[in-house]
Amino acid sequence: MQTENVNMGKQIDRPVWWKVDRVLMRRKVLAIAPQFQIFDEQGGMLLHCQQKLFKLKEDIRVYSDTSKQHEIMTIQARQILDFSAAYDVVDTQNHVKVGALRRKGWKSLFRDEWEILDPQDQSIGWMRETGFALLRRFFNFLPQSFAIEINGAPAGVVKQSFNPFVFKAWMDLTQDPERKLDRRLAMAAGVLLMAIEGRQRN
């Protein structure tokens, strides 16, 4: 367990980010460069993510906190256009590719869908919009929800909070107690939802 400072100078134990199965994802407002943050259920920050500006291809860096001293992962698009782009997720601490996430462009015209790929680019699952997806095409202020499946079995859900100004969503991976879905890849998927789907909504 790692310890972080909290209000009033108190200290509480925070689980390391990749051991947490339920997180709050939030897109930071009033930031020059798009920034995304992931918190545990008690409000403790687990990850801070920043999207690089003026890049032809999406380039998102994931850090342990807002100081940006410790880079944990990179999420980088292979193509300039993101209509059906694939995004490589690399663990920069261990210098290994975790996997990739590929947006299903044509399918996403009606229902947002992402394919989850292993390090060899083999499909191992998907993240698919549920609920009133088609209705959202006309009323994009409606919150989104996603189901996550890995190796043919349910792994979790993402449910966006109703907030017309700030993108906030809960990711719940408690359906995957055996952790078949690499949590690094799961967190990267959440960041891409904030970056891509959240941007389109705005």
191 found inside a domain = yes
16 found inside a domain = no
42 found inside a domain = yes
> Which run of H or of E encompasses 192?
helix 183-192
The neighbouring-strand residues paired with 146 are 129, 158
pLDDT of residue 150: 97
170 found inside a domain = yes
61 found inside a domain = yes
Q: Are 199 and 59 in contact (CB under 8 A)?
A: no
Positions of the chain with pLDDT under 50? 1-12, 202
pLDDT of residue 31: 65
Burial class (CB in 10 A: 0-12, 13-18, 19+), 150: buried
Burial class (CB in 10 A: 0-12, 13-18, 19+), 28: middle
Domain range for 120 = 21-201
119 found inside a domain = yes
pLDDT of residue 62: 96
3 found inside a domain = no
pLDDT of residue 122: 97
Number of domains in the chain: 1
> What is the pTM (predicted TM-score) of this model?
0.84
CA 56/CA 81 separation, integer angstroms: 8
User: How many CA atoms, within 13 angstroms, populate the side-chain half-sphere of residue 177?
Assistant: 0
Q: Are 126 and 116 in contact (CB under 8 A)?
A: yes
